Structure 1
Amino acid sequence: MLRCRQFEIFANFSKGQEDCLFLNIFTPQNRSFNNLLPVFIYIHGGAFMFGAGSSYSPKTIMNAGNMLVVTINYRLGPLGFLSTEDGIIPGNLGLKDQQLALKWIKQNIYLFGGDPEKILLTGQSAGGASVHLHVLKKETENLVSAAVAISGSALNPWVMQMNAKEKTKTLAKMLNCKCQGKKLKSCLQEQPIENINSAVGTMFKFLDNPFNLFGPVVEKENTPGAFMTADPQNLIERGEIANIPFMLTFTTEEGAYNAASLLRKNEKGLDYIEELNERWFELAPYLLFYYDKPCKKCKQMLSKSLKEMYMGKEIFSRKSYLKLQKMFSDLIFINGILETIILHRMFGPRPVYSYIYANPHNYGVGNFLANDLEFEFGATHGDDEVLFLPFAFSTNYTSKVNDMKISKYFLKMFETFVSEGIPVFKDTSLPANGNNLEPIQFLQIFEKIYFIGPWSTSNTNLQECQQRKNCFSY
């Protein structure tokens, strides 16, 4: 499997190749070149630190036979996102790799039977945040027809790096590059990649947190070839948004990534989550991505208020874990995605579409991170993704009957979105959230039913739809 060179967080070693900028293009069998097919482009996740396009199987989409699939590689970690916040090492090389891939696909996909006028850009987690960042570039409307950011937004707190220069200095010091400017760049370029990744492995504060040591940055205005020169919120408020249909999505329990790793055992045989009872004020800023705030007292106050809000008087333990997971879900993923929807409604050229996925499968990211097959985490980060682009090497996932139906409806939704600009799930068009004061309407997908309505963390809307009998069954 070809992947870009990276420090594999979960395996704790370096792997991959530096010569890695390849596309994986899949076409259905027996396709007719007389009828070009829509194109499903996928940007993989991995916190901008790990992952590969080749990790995902196109089998589900290929069996349906209605779209081409293209997965892409891009440079990761320090090779893709190191920055000194100047013109010497400006950063965002991984995003520029993605942009180059989009341009190549637009120009050449017809040679593989793909329709260059029907290109759907998708991505999950860091891939979803990447999709959003591309949507915040006007030129993207000339490259793709529609975009779907799955479980990731540029406004999530882990996406934009606020202290990139300091991280670069820290890494350089460990590599004995005690110089600045062009000499620093030359010194880093001379380092064996194994040394760089070994140094990266020492920069995590607790377990694999903060999980994105390197990521997108705002580049200087005069930087040649800059990907972005303003932060995402400013870009949205200035209307710097591609005029294409856009969808943002999330699962109900996104926070299983990365909270579930706290259910693993430490060297004393205790759950890591129990360490939070003594180290909460030290670790919370790294777990929840406000460690770069300059005000130490502010960080302490925020940590205190978050603990009170989500945990009440309970201690951190396996028994109270789901409350902590809820905190991770809200702060790391859901709040930023909701804020993105609101801002795009206000400043974007088109309505925004959204779905919420609430149907857990038997082996999600929580089970993997906790190394626990029995714990019920709910519908976690990536549980929807597995139904249309599953991880190619997973041996623990088995489909349920309803999963197969949902998978078919997902594919129809993507096909109608890229072809017609309006996503249709089964027989239901997703609501278009335009610039008005009405509550945001979501397609909400559960195990046996789905419905459209405002989202409530207490499942109030689910109960209401069941009482009013306006839920749709599979």
Structure 2
Amino acid sequence: MSNIITWVVCATIGFWCPESDPIVQLPNGKIRGVNHGNYLSFESIPYAEPPIGKNRFEASKLYSGKWSGIRDATKPSVICVQWDQFYNKEDRTHGDEDCLLINVYTPSLSSEKPYNVLINIHGGSFMYGNAIEDKIDLLMKNRQLVIVKMNYRLGVMGFLSTADEVITGNFGLKDQLLALEWTKANIAAFNGNPDKMTVIGESAGSASVHFQMLNKRFEKLATSAMSFSGTALSDWGIDGHANEKAIAVAKYLNCPTESSSSIKKCLQSKDAADIVRTAKEFQKNNVGNYNPAIIFSPVVEPKTAKDTFITEKPEIIIRNGKSAEVPWLASFMKDDGVYPCSEYMQKDSNGVEVIEQLNERWTELAPIDLCLNNVVEKSELPAYTTKLKQKYMGDKRFSAENYFLLQKLCTDIVFENGVKMAWDLHTRYTKSPVYGYMYDNPPPSGLGNVIANRSDVNFGTAHDSDSSLIFNTESGIAAFPENQQKMSSNFVGMIENFCLTGKLQFGSCKFVKNSSKAKGFMAMHITKNSCQSVNADQLP
């Protein structure tokens, strides 16, 4: 009763009454958070048993520990051990293996009605990233939502698979699922509504959202979903060479490889950082610094394995009507292919762009860097990559002058084709509404400038161009031109409205609700000065 009285008094006088020492009771014990003025944070909450020792390369299990007194939830969570392409050190390995933590941010513990919940799954090529890097300031500004972010296992620790029942793979996806289940069970303690939860993600986080939707359990956990640049149908979505990579990792660490069991037993005894560090072995013969950007991905698990997440290919799951029935938005950037292909605009020690090397190594590098080897038979790759080059490049050489032809190829192959396929399949084989957009509004600089390490090229509306306007701070957005600030406001409003009302609108533009009865898929085309729904086939 006192909480209700406090809320009424505060609402009456028009101010938010701060909760100076926020404490939440969980089944495991009490936790203390931080009051940030317009929201409360509770960070570093364990949701799963530590994935160490015998729990390494196993499905995550709900955290069962209990603590006496009040647990400190005031410090940002550690990051999962990872090989981070943006970690600016010679050794890109950092983080901790004991990392399965969740963060919760709430406007108040004492409002009259519970808040709808927004759950964010971070991106990072299934290889890097963490629960604290996506800033929530803009999404918390209006104090309408509870926001949840989680860590999950990455790279070799999260997605290694021997393609059998021994190391089944998909541990990162299983972590995400457990975090969603934890949120469903515990979010009411933070004044969140467990019956109104929206899950969103960008890049690998975007594909992760789609993977979660391919599991029927998702229907009981979320009411809607949003995927920004990535789906389970992307060529990098399902790893077609998981066992080969597992054997390679074992050999790099001098482990026996005569059986999957011997690989698992040996790897469980190794230092986690040493296992993660093997990523550099998969990248050492490439050009530039990063590719292949994705080394380990989700896999189709054997149906006879324990604790499986996905046992059929994503396309088959959708066609057979086995995916979750929730409203879903999926999108892509006009120039998404900046990631990973802007790497080719780096310059070597002689000042020559490394894209020149593709003229001699295209059939060697394209299958790896674009994950074509996941979807094309090895014997067919030379002919396939040659036709691909002819389609986009014609008879032109790979060069800095012709780079944007390559970037279009990368956009289509790595991102756009997978999103459009998902639009089509979900519209045809599911009953829930499907929405989509393409964003076309180049910022002054973006991810391509960071990857290529140059400021003299505008790479267009690059990968991350929309999410950088969502997961940012007010001071960060203020540095953008006025039209970008307006875009930021529209994107944040779009997400809030979808979470609160189930309706999708960008500024004054309403999204078309696509269904199986629709003729052609209608997507929102968002540009610097306009937004309008067009047939997906008419997108530039």
Partner of 2:67: none
User: Does 2:185 match 1:107?
Assistant: yes
Q: 1:227 to 1:296 in 2, by over 3 A?
A: closer
Q: Does 1:419 align with 2:500?
A: yes
Q: How many pairs were matched up?
A: 457
AA aligned opposite 2:343? S
Query: What is the aligned partner in structure 1 of residue 488 from structure 2?
Result: 407
**Alpha carbons 2:156, 2:296 under 8 Å: kept:** yes
Counterpart of 2:338 in structure 1 is 256
Task: Please say if 1:55 is aligned against 2:136.
Answer: no
Taking structure 1 as the reference length, the TM-score comes to: 0.92
Query: Rg bigger for which structure?
Result: 2
Write out per-residue CA displacement over residues 34-81 of structure 1, whole angstroms, 9 at most, x where no aligned residue: 121111111111111111111111011111221122111100011111
Alpha-carbon distance change, 237 to 294 in structure 1, aligned in 2, over 3 angstroms: closer
CA distance, structure 2, for counterparts of residue 85 and residue 297 of structure 1: 21
Partner of 2:82: 6
CA distance 1:425–1:344, change in 2 (3 Å): same
CA distance in 1, matches of 2:376, 2:307: 31
The 3-state SS of whatever aligns with 1:418 is: helix
1:68 aligns with 2:149: no
Deviation at 1:412, TM superposition (A): 2.5
Work out whether residues 38 and 415 of structure 1, in 8 Å CA contact, stay in contact via their aligned partners in 2: no
Which residue is 2:453 aligned to?
Answer: 371
Tell me the equivalent position of 1:469: none
Structure 2 SS opposite 1:69: strand
- Letter matched to residue 419 of structure 1: L
**Equivalent-residue separation in structure 2 for 1:376 and 1:430 (angstroms):** 29
Corresponding position of 1:178: 256
What is the alpha-carbon distance in structure 2 between the residues aligned to residue 395 and residue 47 of structure 1? 24
The percentage of aligned residue pairs carrying the same residue is 35
State the AA in 2 paired with 1:428: C
Q: Give the counterpart letter for 1:357 in structure 2.
A: Y
Question: Does the Cα contact within 8 Å between 2:138 and 2:473 map onto a contact in 1?
Answer: no
Task: Look up the equivalent residue of 1:140 and give its one-letter code.
Answer: F
Query: What amino acid does structure 2 have at the position aligned with 1:342?
Result: D
**SS state at 1:119 partner:** strand
User: Which whole-Å deviations, capped at 9, do the CAs of 1:331-378 have from their partners, x for residues lacking one?
Assistant: 011001100110111111212111111112222111111112231111
Amino acid at match of 2:241: N
Q: Is the Cα contact below 8 Å between 1:86 and 1:219 reproduced in 2?
A: yes
Residue in 2 that maps onto 1:122: 200
Q: 2: CA distance between counterparts of 1:458 and 1:81? A: 34
CA-to-partner distance for each residue in 1:227-275, whole Å, 9 max, x for gaps? Answer: 1111101100110111111111111000000111111112333111111
Partner of 2:226: 148
Q: CA deviation at 1:316?
A: 1.0
Q: 1:299 aligns with which of 378, 381, 390?
A: 381
1:437 offset after TM fit, Å? 5.5
Task: Find 1:168's aligned residue among 246, 250, 253.
Answer: 246
Match of 2:276 among 197, 201, 225: 197
Aligned residue for 1:350, secondary structure, equals coil
Q: AA paired with 2:171?
A: L
Aligned-residue CA RMSD in angstroms?
2.0
Compared CA separation, residues 380 and 397, structure 1 to 2 (3 A): farther
Residues 135 and 52 of structure 1, relative CA distance in 2, 3 Å threshold: same
Helix, strand or coil: the match of 2:388? helix
Partners of 1:291 and 1:424 lie apart in 2 by: 38
Q: Mind listing any 5+ residue stretches in structure 2 that lack a counterpart? A: 1-75
- The Cα shift of 1:430 comes to 0.7
Q: Secondary structure at the match of 1:104?
A: helix
For residues 378-410 of structure 1, give each alpha carbon's deviation from its aligned partner in whole angstroms, at most 9, with x where no partner exists. Answer: 111110001111389x97992222222222222
Partners in 1 of 2:270 and 2:312 — Cα distance?
Answer: 31
Residue aligning to 1:26: 105
Letter in 2 for 1:23: I
Report what 2:124 is aligned to: 46
SS in 1 for 2:278: helix
Partner of 2:14: none
- Say if 2:233 and 2:418, in contact at 8 Å, map to a contact too: yes
Which consecutive residues of structure 1, in runs of 5 or more, have no partner in the other structure?
Answer: 460-474
Contact 1:362 1:398 survives alignment (8 Å): no
For structure 1, which segment, 358-367 or 153-162, has the greater mean C-alpha deviation from structure 2 after superposition? 358-367
